[in-house]
């Protein structure tokens, strides 16, 4: 119940017009702050409902694969420059964004991540790291403006941020593998 209120509260705060416009003013604000926070709201909701939905999940979301697929498709959709433009130009798509990002990215992620096999988790991380680098490189080096609503300058910043995140994740993984791995083997 408490988590449900936090989750709903987060979505409501993000939908307050000045906050919404403030974050959507820059590409980084939308792609790296607003959308992740919306996903976080869904994730918090999922954590809260995870136990109660357990019997259902064991049947329909065994090993978390169906849930992971939902997250993947929703992610692909919201990373397309076209969807971002649509959300900025049409209230309808903006509403869709505020509904689908929490419910189709954060929520199923919370219900699936714990169920995923270690190999699948590793596969997901490897993909997230490599894809965010590739996406970042594409955004930073695109000869054309990808979003009509944003400047090429912001596109470059977003691309660089994506690559930075990718490198950061890679390094943190190395650290985790080396240090945590060593502790376990001792």
Binding site for other proteins (CB under 8 A): 58-63, 65-66, 69-70, 72-73, 76-77, 80-83, 85-86, 89, 144-149, 151-152
Cβ–Cβ under 8 Å, residues 155 and 147? yes
- Report, in Å, the least distance between residue 47 CB and other proteins: 21
Residue whose CB is less far from other proteins, 3 or 115: 115
Residue whose CB is less far from other proteins, 59 or 183: 59
- Report, in Å, the least distance between residue 15 CB and other proteins: 23
- Residue 50 has φ and ψ, to the nearest 5°, of -60, -50
Residue whose CB is less far from other proteins, 48 or 64: 64
Question: How far is the C-alpha of 84 from the C-alpha of 89, rounded, in Å?
Answer: 9
Residue whose CB is less far from other proteins, 32 or 79: 79
- Report, in Å, the least distance between residue 6 CB and other proteins: 28
- Report, in Å, the least distance between residue 153 CB and other proteins: 8
- Report, in Å, the least distance between residue 64 CB and other proteins: 9
Cβ–Cβ under 8 Å, residues 70 and 124? no
Give one word for 146, left, alpha or beta, with left for phi > 0 and alpha for psi -120 to 50. alpha
Buried/exposed 80-96: b ≥16 CB within 10 Å, e otherwise: ebebbbbbbeeeebbeb
Question: How far is the C-alpha of 124 from the C-alpha of 135, rounded, in Å?
Answer: 16
Residue whose CB is less far from other proteins, 34 or 112: 112
Percent helix, strand, coil in the chain (nearest 5)?
85, 0, 15
């Amino acid at each position: 119940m408490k988590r449900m209120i936090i989750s709903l509260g987060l979505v409501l705060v993000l939908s307050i017009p000045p906050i919404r416009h403030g974050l959507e003013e820059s590409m980084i604000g939308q792609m790296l702050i607003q959308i992740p926070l919306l996903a976080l709201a869904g994730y918090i909701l999922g954590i809260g409902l995870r136990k109660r939905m357990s019997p259902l999940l064991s049947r329909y979301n065994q090993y978390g694969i169906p849930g992971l697929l939902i997250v993947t498709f929703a992610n692909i959709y919201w990373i397309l420059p076209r969807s971002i433009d649509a959300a900025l130009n049409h209230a309808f798509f903006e509403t869709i964004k505020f509904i689908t990002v929490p419910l189709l990215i954060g929520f199923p992620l919370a219900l699936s991540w714990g169920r995923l096999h270690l190999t699948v988790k590793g596969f997901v991380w490897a993909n997230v790291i490599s894809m965010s680098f590739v996406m970042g490189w594409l955004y930073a080096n695109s000869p054309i403006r990808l979003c009509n609503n944003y400047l090429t300058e912001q596109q470059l910043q977003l691309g660089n941020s994506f690559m930075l995140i990718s490198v950061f994740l890679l390094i943190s993984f190395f650290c985790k593998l080396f240090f945590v791995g060593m502790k376990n083997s001792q």
